[in-house]
Amino acid sequence: MRTPVVDGDRLREMAAKLPEHLFKPVDRKLSDLDVGKSAYSFDWAMTVTESGECYLDLNAPMSMTASYSSIRVERHEDGYHVVIVSKDTKWRKKNGGAREKMVPIQSVRDDPDVDFGQKIQQIERDIEGIPKEVKSKD
């Protein structure tokens, strides 16, 4: 039985509280990345200007795991460096330059040994080949 709580002149029941361990962690942003650390983010976190200069949106979320069309962001003493981890990811040049809370990227390179987009496509092909009765155990 829930304990009634006085709310002005009315009584209301006290709502149950969600246990702490069921809360999702607060989303961390690239601005939280410490020097010497790296994390992954979405391709849209990097903006390319008309002149080809690259800027990083520090409000973009960061993750410790890669996803399709993601970039790896490394923070060094001299600033942020980006590694493209999917060969399928492409950018368009944008008019207007960098937005607020964006910083210039010191270097951009692709990693020929890592292509998460290709790996995910292979996993999807593998899953398609698995008979339906094996996929679900219901």
Nearest to 80 by CA among 47, 35, 27: 35
Range of the domain at 32: 26-130
**Is 89 part of any domain?**
yes
3-state secondary structure 38-82: EEEEEHHHEEEECCCCEEEECCCECECCCCCCEEEEEEECCEEEE
Q: Output the pLDDT for position 104.
A: 95
**Is 11 part of any domain?**
no
Q: Output the pLDDT for position 37.
A: 94
Q: Mean pLDDT across the stretch 51-79?
A: 88
Strands 54-57 and 102-110: antiparallel
Give the chain's mean pLDDT. 80
**Is 78 part of any domain?**
yes
Q: How far apart are the first and last CA of the chain?
A: 36
- In total, how many domains does the chain have? 1
User: Angle at CA 127, nearest 5°, toward 126 and 131?
Assistant: 110
**Model confidence over 107-132: pLDDT tens digits?**
999 876 665 556 666 666 666 666 55
Strands 46-49 and 38-42: unpaired
2 has a pLDDT exceeding 70 = no
**Is 136 part of any domain?**
no
Model pTM?
0.65
